[in-house]
Structure formats: structure tokens, C-alpha cells
Chains A and B, each alone.
Chain A
Amino acid sequence: MQIKTVEANGNNSALQVRALRKAYGDQTVLRGIDLKIAKGEIVTVLGRSGSGKSVLLKLIIGLQKPDEGTIELFGTEVTQLPLNELNQVRKKLGFLFQQAALYDSLSVEENVAFPLRRHTRLSDAEISERVQQMLARVDMGKDLKKMPSEVSGGMKKRVGLARALILDPEIILLDEPTAGLDPITTKEIDELVLSMQKEREITAIVVTHDLSSVARLADRIVILKEGNVIVEGKPDEVKRSEDPFVREFLELS
């Protein structure tokens, strides 16, 4: 199996998005997004609801196809890849959905074990050990046997995060990982993402509305408005932005 490598992509780039455009019927959600993210970088994506943040994540992992533009992951252009090759790339990604999207017929433990069972040859004992370790890191070590319907929304998010991290991905895409969580759990989740970055040089794209998380996590901030990137830069640079929308957004958040 040969995967086309784009030479133009820099060595240090984990993800590069060029002129990405997506519309649903008459409604254009993304209007030509350009974005480059280096290995080990944490980028937070901000914007009003409906500005295309979640769509951007779904395009990156290939759940939806862009109308125009390219997405390069680890130097591989992925938008035109056949499914089996795309799945090879997806194994290097972790995705946390906005509503966690846990498999409701599987227990918490089985949810987190799912990627390991599908993509590794680990024994049941090894899988169980790794799952318990990961769930302990998100403070869910005591709820292994519970079903998703028996845990709270915040707990589902933490299980979803554990599932996203269990294969040691190189890039994690987190869609509002701390929405609905209390401040202490929010801080713990942020610290977990930071520790993964330090330990494994993980790259993260975090869609969030939580400015305290942004302050803790972001190496760089991207703000979307009506499908366009209106501001992109380091946190200090974005805070100094004179753009009226950015000023209002940051003041009200």
C-alpha cells in the first residue's frame, strides 16, 4: 500500500489545511480555511456556534469530504484517499466528539478497549491493564463496569477522551472537551492534554468556548467567523487584536 507524500509539506508539520471549503446546500460553512499546525503544538479553535469549528474537525478526520481544498496529515493528502488507506492515517488520530458518542451497548471499559481490540494484538489482560490505566488518568477508574447511560455527561466526556487517547495518537482532535464540566475536572482534563503533549509530543486541535482552558492549553489560537479564519496567532497576539469581533468575543467569553 503506497500513500502519496506531499513533498512541499514542511518536516515539522503535523497538519496542513489549504483553501478548505464546505457547504451544505445553500449554506456555506467553511469559506477557504488555511491552517498549518506543527508537531507537538496545541491549537485552540474559537468562534461562535455554527462558525464551522466542529465541521473543520470532521473534515480533518475524513468523516465528511470537503467541497474544495486539501488536508495533509503527516505529509499525506487525505481528502482523496481510499477508505483502507484513510483508515491507516486515522489510527494516528484521536477524536473526542462534542457529545462523547460512547457506544451505548458497551460498558465504559469496553468503550475504551474498542480501538485496542480492533487495531492491536494485545492480550485481554494487557488490554484490560491499559484501559484501567487510561481510565484512572481521567478519574474514571472506579466506573469500569458502568454503562454509558449510568454516568453523567461530564463522565462521558472523560471516557470519550480516554477512548481518543488509548491508541497513543499523534494528533488529537477535541470537540469541546470541557463543556459542561466543573472547573476542577476542566483543569484536570487540560492538564492531561498538556502531559500527553510533554510525554509524547502529541499535537492537539481543541475546539472550545472555555477561555480558562485556552489560557492553559493554547500555543496558538485560531478564531473563526462565518467560515473564515479572522485571527490566528499566539495567545498574547490574539488578545492584542483590534478586530471588533475578536475584542467582543474575548470580553464576553
Chain B
Amino acid sequence: MTNDERLGKPNILLDFLEWFGELAQFCLRLVKAIVTPPFELRELLRQMHEIGTKSLPLVAIAGSAIGVVLSMHARDSMVRFGAKSLIPTLIIIAVIKEGGPIITSLVISGRVGAGIGAELGSMKVTEQVDAIEASAVDPFKLLVVTRVLACVLMLPLLTIVADFCGILAGWLANALIEPMSLQFFIVNGFQTVTFSDLFSATIGTLVFGLLIGIIGCFEGLRTQGGTAGVGRASTSAVVIASLFVILADVVIVRITILLFSH
């Protein structure tokens, strides 16, 4: 109970600072748990399947949709400037540098962040987390470390799938209006794509995965108050993770421009 709850008045600033303080402690505990044995490899693989494999259809559809939308926008804009030859480049750069990573992260934030928040929240209020601890197993290692690592490892791979589907769908949408071979589209589009474009986007998705995993687990394990609390944890996990992903995107783009701009 915070001081102001005792006094009967809400203090948003104090709650906000308390939340960040708890999050910082949670992150420190996470770092320590990641580097100390025992390592829950079997559970990590299970979570990679849950978070990664089962998200594939959703990510593929979202990636394809963003490819089609970018294709339509690119055509509309480039035709106005008489730069139709740049359409493949624009689509591919837009998908790789921003569309693929951010749409994958937001989709995973919704599907996985909410899932982790609800699952751990439910386990918390039904004493399953305590039961794991009573069985002489560290619930932090079993539940948190595995989920966070699975998010970090799977998000770059899912982003590659989204990028692939986005580029393919972008080509298809473009080719339906003006016939163009896939080979020409790819060769032309990738001419200006550099290693740093791919590298920075990949680093970004590692950070996004870390944020989604941490916020989902943190909100889940803070759950209080039965079923309603589980609902709140799930919603908080999605909202906060999505917001953090977008804010982190701003910072990462700025840093990569500073580091890799020619």
C-alpha cells in the first residue's frame, strides 16, 4: 500500500515512480537469473514454439497486408513525381526498415504480450506460482526468463518472415497494376539496401522482443485481485508493451541514423 492510499488520496506521480522502481528491480533480477544456472532449456524451447511458431500465420498475414498498403502508397506517390522506377526500392526499404519490424512487434505485443500477462496473472492469483516455488523450483527462471528469452530470440525471426511476406505481397500488388517480374523487382529494390539497414532493423527487433517479454511477465506477476486483476494485467501488458515498442523505435531509429548515416 502506498502512502497516499493510506491517506485516502491518489498520487499518480508516486504510483508511476513506484512502478518504474519495481520494473527496475525486476530487470536486475532478470539479468541475474539469465546468467546463473540452472537453465530451463526445455521450457525455453516450448516457449519459442508457443511464441514463435504459433505466431507465424498472424505475422505472415500482417506482413503481407503492410506490403500491399506500402505498394499502393508508393505507386501513388512515385507516379506523381515521375519516379516509377523507384517503386521497388521504396517498398523494400519501407518494409525492411520500418514496416516489417514495427508491425511484427505490435502484432506480437498484442498476441504474446497479452497472453503472457493473462497466463502469469492467472497463475499468480490461483497460487500456481507459489506452488512452483513450494516445489523447490525458481518460478522466475521457469516462467519469466524463458518467456523473455523466447520473445528476444523469436522476434527477429518473425520479422524476417513479415519482411519476406511484405516484399512478396508488395511485388504482387504492384505487378497486378503494372506487370513486373519478381526478379527485376528484387534486384532493383535491393540495389540501395545496405547491411546497416538490415542490421539496425534486426537489433531493433531484439529490443522490441525484450520489451514485450519483460512487460508481459512483469504485469502478469504483479496481478492482484482475482479475475478482474487478470484482465487488467493482460490489458496493461499490451498497452504498455506497445507504447514502449513505439517509443523504443524512435530512439533506435535516431541512434542508427547517427551511427550508420553516410
Could you tell me which A residues sit within 8 Å of B by CB distance? 25, 58, 61-63, 83, 87-88, 90-91, 93, 95, 97-99, 101-105, 114-115, 118-119, 163
- Using A87-B136, A118-B136 as known contacts, list a sample of 18 further A-B pairs with CB atoms less than 8 Å apart, ordered by residue number in A: A61-B134, A63-B134, A87-B137, A90-B135, A93-B134, A99-B126, A99-B127, A101-B128, A102-B128, A103-B128, A103-B132, A104-B122, A104-B123, A104-B126, A114-B135, A115-B136, A118-B137, A119-B136
| Interchain nearest-CB distance for A179 vs B (Å) | 15
**Is B130 a contact of A87 with CB atoms below 8 Å?**
no
Q: How many A-B residue pairs have CB under 8 A?
A: 51
Interface residue B131 (Cβ < 8 Å from any Cβ of A): yes
Chain A residues with Cβ under 8 A from B128's Cβ? 101-104
Chain B residues with Cβ under 8 A from A95's Cβ? 131, 134
| Interchain nearest-CB distance for B17 vs A (Å) | 20
**Is A90 a contact of B130 with CB atoms below 8 Å?**
no
| Interchain nearest-CB distance for B1 vs A (Å) | 5
Chain A residues with Cβ under 8 A from B132's Cβ? 103
Chain B residues with Cβ under 8 A from A90's Cβ? 134-136
Interface residues of B in 224-244 (CB under 8 A from A): none
Chain B, Cβ-Cβ closest to A119:
B136
| Interchain nearest-CB distance for B16 vs A (Å) | 21
Chain B residues with Cβ under 8 A from A87's Cβ? 136-138
**Could you give 26 example pairs across A and B, Cβ below 8 Å?**
A25-B1, A63-B130, A63-B134, A83-B138, A87-B136, A90-B134, A90-B136, A91-B136, A93-B134, A97-B130, A98-B127, A99-B127, A101-B126, A101-B128, A101-B130, A101-B131, A102-B131, A103-B123, A103-B132, A104-B122, A104-B123, A104-B126, A105-B119, A114-B135, A115-B136, A119-B136
Chain A, Cβ-Cβ closest to B134:
A95
Chain B: residues with Cβ within 8 Å of the partner, total of: 17
Interface residue B18 (Cβ < 8 Å from any Cβ of A): no
| Interchain nearest-CB distance for B218 vs A (Å) | 19
Knowing A25-B1, A104-B122, A104-B126, the reply to whether A97 touches B136 (Cβ < 8 A) is no
Interface residue B133 (Cβ < 8 Å from any Cβ of A): yes
Compute how far the CA of A128 lies from the CA of B127 in the bound complex, rounded to whole angstroms.
Answer: 25
Compute how far the CA of A61 lies from the CA of B126 in the bound complex, rounded to whole angstroms.
Answer: 18
Interface residues of B in 87-134 (CB under 8 A from A): 119, 122-123, 126-128, 130-134
A90, A101, A102, A118: which has the most chain B beta carbons within 10 Å? A101
| Interchain nearest-CB distance for A173 vs B (Å) | 9
| Interchain nearest-CB distance for B193 vs A (Å) | 42
Compute how far the CA of A158 lies from the CA of B134 in the bound complex, rounded to whole angstroms.
Answer: 17
**Is A101 a contact of B127 with CB atoms below 8 Å?**
yes
Compute how far the CA of A11 lies from the CA of B228 in the bound complex, rounded to whole angstroms.
Answer: 49
| Interchain nearest-CB distance for B150 vs A (Å) | 15
Chain A residues with Cβ under 8 A from B131's Cβ? 95, 97, 101-103
Knowing A63-B134, A88-B136, the reply to whether A97 touches B122 (Cβ < 8 A) is no
Chain B, Cβ-Cβ closest to A83:
B138
**Is A63 a contact of B133 with CB atoms below 8 Å?**
yes
**Is B135 a contact of A115 with CB atoms below 8 Å?**
yes
The contact string, 1 if C-beta is below 8 Å from chain A, for chain B 38-54, is: 00000000000000000
**Is B135 a contact of A118 with CB atoms below 8 Å?**
yes
Compute how far the CA of A103 lies from the CA of B135 in the bound complex, rounded to whole angstroms.
Answer: 12
User: Which residue from B6, B130, B135 sits with its C-beta under 8 Å from A58?
Assistant: B130
Compute how far the CA of A93 lies from the CA of B138 in the bound complex, rounded to whole angstroms.
Answer: 16
| Interchain nearest-CB distance for B234 vs A (Å) | 16
| Interchain nearest-CB distance for B122 vs A (Å) | 7
Compute how far the CA of A77 lies from the CA of B69 in the bound complex, rounded to whole angstroms.
Answer: 65
Chain B residues with Cβ under 8 A from A163's Cβ? 135
| Interchain nearest-CB distance for B41 vs A (Å) | 14
Q: Which 8 A-B pairs have the closest CB atoms?
A: A90-B136, A101-B127, A101-B131, A87-B136, A95-B134, A91-B136, A115-B135, A97-B127
Chain B residues with Cβ under 8 A from A118's Cβ? 135-137
Chain B residues with Cβ under 8 A from A97's Cβ? 127, 130-131, 134
Chain A residues with Cβ under 8 A from B122's Cβ? 104
Compute how far the CA of A99 lies from the CA of B127 in the bound complex, rounded to whole angstroms.
Answer: 8
Chain A residues with Cβ under 8 A from B126's Cβ? 99, 101, 104
Compute how far the CA of A99 lies from the CA of B119 in the bound complex, rounded to whole angstroms.
Answer: 18
Chain B residues with Cβ under 8 A from A58's Cβ? 130
Compute how far the CA of A97 lies from the CA of B134 in the bound complex, rounded to whole angstroms.
Answer: 10
The contact string, 1 if C-beta is below 8 Å from chain A, for chain B 210-229, is: 00000000000000000000
Compute how far the CA of A63 lies from the CA of B127 in the bound complex, rounded to whole angstroms.
Answer: 11
Compute how far the CA of A238 lies from the CA of B121 in the bound complex, rounded to whole angstroms.
Answer: 42
Interface residues of B in 131-157 (CB under 8 A from A): 131-138
Compute how far the CA of A91 lies from the CA of B134 in the bound complex, rounded to whole angstroms.
Answer: 8
Compute how far the CA of A102 lies from the CA of B123 in the bound complex, rounded to whole angstroms.
Answer: 9
Chain B residues with Cβ under 8 A from A91's Cβ? 136
